[in-house]
Amino acid sequence: MQIIRTVTFGFLLVIAVLTTAIVSTYYNTRNVLDANSLIAHTQKVLYSSEEIVAQSTPIATGYRTYLITGDTNYLKPHDPKPINNLYAKVDTLSTYVTSPSQKARIDTLRDMIGHRILYADTAISLIQNQGRQAAVAFVSLNGSKKILDEIRRLVNEIQAEEKGMLAIRQKTEALQQRAYYTVFLGLVVLIFVILIALYLFILNNIKARANAETELRDSRNLLHAIINNTSSNIFIKDLEGRYVLVNSPMAALFGKKPSQIVGLTDYDIVPEHVATKVRDDDKMVAITAQLREVEDDVPMQGEIRSYITAKFPIYDDKGVVKGVCGVTTDITQRKQAEKKLKDALTDVQDLYNHAPCGYHSLNESGIITEINDTELKWLGYTRKEVVNKMRFTDLITTEGKTKFPQLFQQFKELGHIEGVQYEMVRKDGSSFHAMLSATAIFDEQGKFSHSRTTIHDISELKQAEQMRESLNQLLAQQVSQLEEANAELNAFTYSASHDLRAPLRAISSFASLLYRDHNTVLTEDGKRLLDIIRGNAKKMAQLIDDLLIYSRIGRAAVNTAEVEMVGFAESITEELRDAYNNNLKAKFTFSEPHRVHCDKVLVRQVLLNLLGNAVKYSSKNPNPQIHFGWYHVNRENVFYVKDNGAGFDMRYADKLFGVFQRLHSDVEFEGTGVGLAIVARIVQKHGGRVWAEGKPDEGATFYFTIPDN
């Protein structure tokens, strides 16, 4: 509208300037014509005056020539016709002038002409009546010359005044022309300025309009992109219910393109009962001219989908409702989620009320604001009797009431409390022991709002504690007795092993002396018996040594340090080679190095026993192979010794780590039956485990663990 008003004003201004120029030109033309008319009038005056002078001259010269020549032909200017013609010209000259002075001069001029005609007629009459001499005498008086001079003077004055008026008129006309041209040029320049200004204004507005149209087109494209790529369904309908605009997501719901839905009504795309409801909602929005939100369940692609639609009126430029716009969102998942949430809340409420523990909440004054069914059942009250009516102190013993205020104040300051015990009083007066833990809930200002308290009935726990105290007393007695028995057993083991060493050494020594000194007199059977005595004495000594080691391990403390186990195992194999005088046939292999924390002295005994057993039990294999390895699982370091020796039957695996338990006879493999028991005892002192796997004649693998900590 602004540009239209501006352009209209500009063109009206141009028309006004053009009108001014035309009017100015018109008046200038009139002035020019008037000036030309005045100039022509002046020219006529000058011409007529000259003509009068010219026609009056023959009158003077005619009678003189006649006087000299006597020829009457020279008297023709004195005929009535020339005389009348001369007076007629004087009258005509009189009509050309307007000023009184000029008219007075012309009147005088007429009189002078009359005098001159009279003078000439007198001279002619004298010639004709009195003779030439009388006429010459009359003429010699110079009366004719004076009249002629007067006529010339009058004509000169008339011409001078007319010429003066002509000069003034020409000057005035020149000034008027200059003013006209100045004004006209100014008006032309003004028109050009206005037209250029209008051109620039229109050009700028065209550019601005082009930019606005570009921005509008970009905005429209952006709006279409947003509308067509939003997850909501957007539409516009006219007052007859026909779709005017539909975005792509909505059209896709019906398997169509937006252009295929435009022009249709809801009756064309959904069931009639749904379309009727939608149409009624649209009419309500158009009538009330207010935003309206409605929910609809619409059958869509074989299922019922729930939609919520926000509808609002659209107005024309006069403020009249011309249609309805709607934004529809599929809330099927939300409603399903709400149902799940509702079910979950029901489950939570059910869990809250039927939990195996009690729940309640206290406000700042200690009044119970919430309580679950479990706690109500323990107390024997109904919810109406307790909620917002009873204080927590109404449900505890006098001793509890004494300590509650201080604990409750500390709880509100700290925000939590754990493991507080109260003796709760039931409605029937009986009591039970309870342990509670609570968390404080604060409002936005940091002020205490309420508590969330969990209560556990610990009556059975109290009974169990009493029983535990009794059992602890009994256990302490048994431990004391066991310690005494272990001390006695250790003393006996130590004493027995030491007391047995002397007779064993004597038996072995005497048997050796007997064999050496009396070898020649002994029979073969005697020698065999002596060998048996010596072998059993040696075996008995080894057994005593193993028992001493087993006994010491039970008393020894575990001193841990970082040990590289693979290198440690390699050093043990070198000791075994030395013990066998480098006659070991077994081939040893090892995994990559690995470090753990353990008692190096005790673990050395474990490795020595396991690697020694592997050497011993694989000795009958022509190509013995022994491998020491490890792996890590479940925060445990698992080490193992694997051989391809005699193996064992897994049915007897549980006997391997017991004292004096052997799966092979002494004839097959020597041993005391204590070595693996020592291994088990050392590993257990480290918090680990031992086990074994094997098959007869296919080898065995012995495992032990050392925990990470």
pLDDT interval class at 141 (50, 70, 90): low
The pLDDT of residue 133 is 73
Place of tokens 């007066």: 429
Measured CA distances, 179 to 24, 369, 438 (Å): 10, 104, 107
Average pLDDT over residues 567-590: 86
The pLDDT of residue 306 is 83
Based on C-alpha coordinates, what's the Rg of the chain?
A: 74
Q: Is the pLDDT of residue 220 over 90?
A: no
The pLDDT of residue 558 is 74
The pLDDT of residue 259 is 87
The pLDDT of residue 356 is 87
**Tokens representing residue 491 in the block:** 């003393």
The pLDDT of residue 5 is 75
**Tokens representing residue 83 in the block:** 């005389």
Q: Which of 360, 386, 379, 380 is nearest to 371 (CA)?
A: 360
Alpha helices in 97-243 (DSSP H): 100-129, 132-139, 143-229
The pLDDT of residue 292 is 86
Q: Give percent above pLDDT 90 in the chain.
A: 22
pLDDT interval class at 434 (50, 70, 90): very high
Average pLDDT over residues 27-39: 68
pLDDT interval class at 642 (50, 70, 90): very high
Evaluate if pTM is beyond 0.85.
no
The pLDDT of residue 659 is 60
- Over residues 319-376, the pLDDT tens digits come to 899 999 988 888 888 888 888 888 888 888 888 888 889 999 999 999 999 999 999 9
Per-residue buried b or exposed e for 603-620, using 16+ beta carbons within 10 Å of the residue's own CB: bbbbbbbbbbbbbbbbbe
177 phi-psi bin (left φ>0, alpha ψ -120 to 50, beta other): alpha
Q: Is the pLDDT of residue 591 over 90?
A: yes
- Over residues 502-554, the pLDDT tens digits come to 666 666 676 677 667 777 777 777 767 766 676 666 656 655 665 666 566 66
The pLDDT of residue 252 is 83
- Over residues 461-494, the pLDDT tens digits come to 888 888 888 888 888 787 677 666 666 656 666 6
CA distance 172 to 561: 134
Query: How deeply is 431 buried, as exposed, middle or buried, from its count of CB atoms within 10 A (0-12, 13-18, 19+)?
Result: middle
**What value does the mean pLDDT of the chain take?**
81
**Tokens representing residue 84 in the block:** 């009348």
- Over residues 37-72, the pLDDT tens digits come to 767 777 777 777 777 777 777 766 766 676 677 777
Of 163-177, 248-262, 277-291, the one with minimum mean pLDDT is 163-177
Average pLDDT over residues 557-566: 86
HSE-up of residue 334 (Cα within 13 Å, Cβ side): 7
Helix or strand or coil: residue 434? strand
The angle formed by the CA atoms of residues 106, 138 and 69, to the nearest 5 degrees, is 95
The pLDDT of residue 438 is 93
Q: Which amino acid is at 577?
A: R
The pLDDT of residue 672 is 56
**Tokens representing residue 126 in the block:** 């004298």
pLDDT interval class at 102 (50, 70, 90): confident
Q: Is the pLDDT of residue 565 over 90?
A: yes
Q: Give percent above pLDDT 70 in the chain.
A: 83
H/E element, 639? strand 636-643
Q: Is the pLDDT of residue 3 over 70?
A: no
Q: What is the DSSP string of 308-332?
A: EEEEEEEE-TTS-EEEEEEEEEE-H
* Contacts of residue 639, Cβ cutoff 8 Å, sequence gap at least 6: 565, 628, 629, 630, 703, 704, 705, 706
The pLDDT of residue 294 is 82
Strand ranges in 331-430 using DSSP code E only, listed in sequence order: 358-362, 368-371, 416-425
Average pLDDT over residues 406-413: 90
By the 8 A CB rule, do 533 and 540 touch? no
Handedness of CA 90, 92, 97, 99 (dihedral sign): positive
Q: Which of 643, 612, 618 is nearest to 628 (CA)?
A: 643
The pLDDT of residue 143 is 66
- Which one has a higher pLDDT value, 402 or 578? 402
- Over residues 440-452, the pLDDT tens digits come to 999 989 899 999 9
Q: Is the pLDDT of residue 454 over 80?
A: yes
CA distance 254 to 261: 9
Cα–chain-centroid distance for residue 92? 105
**Tokens representing residue 677 in the block:** 């028991």
CA distance 431 to 450: 26
Cα–chain-centroid distance for residue 263? 37
pLDDT interval class at 611 (50, 70, 90): very high
